[in-house]
Amino acid sequence: MAPKQLVQEWVRRFNAADIEGLAALYAEQAINHQVVMAPLHGREAIRQMFQTEFGRAQMVCLIENLFEDGEWAILEWRDPNGLRGCGFFHVQQGSIVFQRGYFDQLSFFRFNQLPVPERYLGS
C-alpha cells in the first residue's frame, strides 16, 4: 500500500476508534513520536497509547491536506472542535515505521474538558 493510501486507512480506523486496527498498521518495531510526549517504541506501546487516548476522549481526524513524497505521507488535520495538527508518516513495505505528530495538547485537554496537568500551568 502506498503511503498516502495507508494514511487514508489510518484516518478511517482512527475515526472508528479501531485501536487494534490502528496498531496493525505499524511495524512491530515502529516509533511514534507525538512531540508533546516521549517517543513510543514498538507496536504494543503505540496500541496502549491509542487505548489510553480513546479511553479519555472522543477523537475525530478530518483531513485538510494529505501529501505523499516517496516513502513519506504528510497529513494536515483538524477536528470538529478546531484543534489542528500535522503528522509525518514514514511507510516501508506497507507498514508505518515512524510517525511524528504536532498538535497543541493544552487545547486538546481543554476541548475535551480533561484536567490540565500541573506541568502545563507552570510553577
The answer to whether 56 and 114 have CB atoms below 8 angstroms apart is yes
Q: What is the pLDDT of residues 89-116, one digit of tens each?
A: 999 999 999 999 998 777 777 777 778 7
Distance CA(107)–CA(99), nearest Å, equals: 21
Domain total of the chain: 1
Whose CA is closest to 111, among 76, 60, 37?
60
- Quick check: pTM over 0.85? yes
Q: And the C-alpha cell for 51?
A: 487505548
| CATH for 37 | 3.10.450.50
Q: What is the pLDDT of residues 4-36, one digit of tens each?
A: 999 999 999 999 999 999 999 999 999 999 988
Range of the domain at 112: 3-121
Distance CA(29)–CA(52), nearest Å, equals: 20
Distance CA(100)–CA(29), nearest Å, equals: 15
Instruction: Please tell me the predicted confidence (pLDDT) of residue 120.
Output: 61
Instruction: Please tell me the predicted confidence (pLDDT) of residue 7.
Output: 98
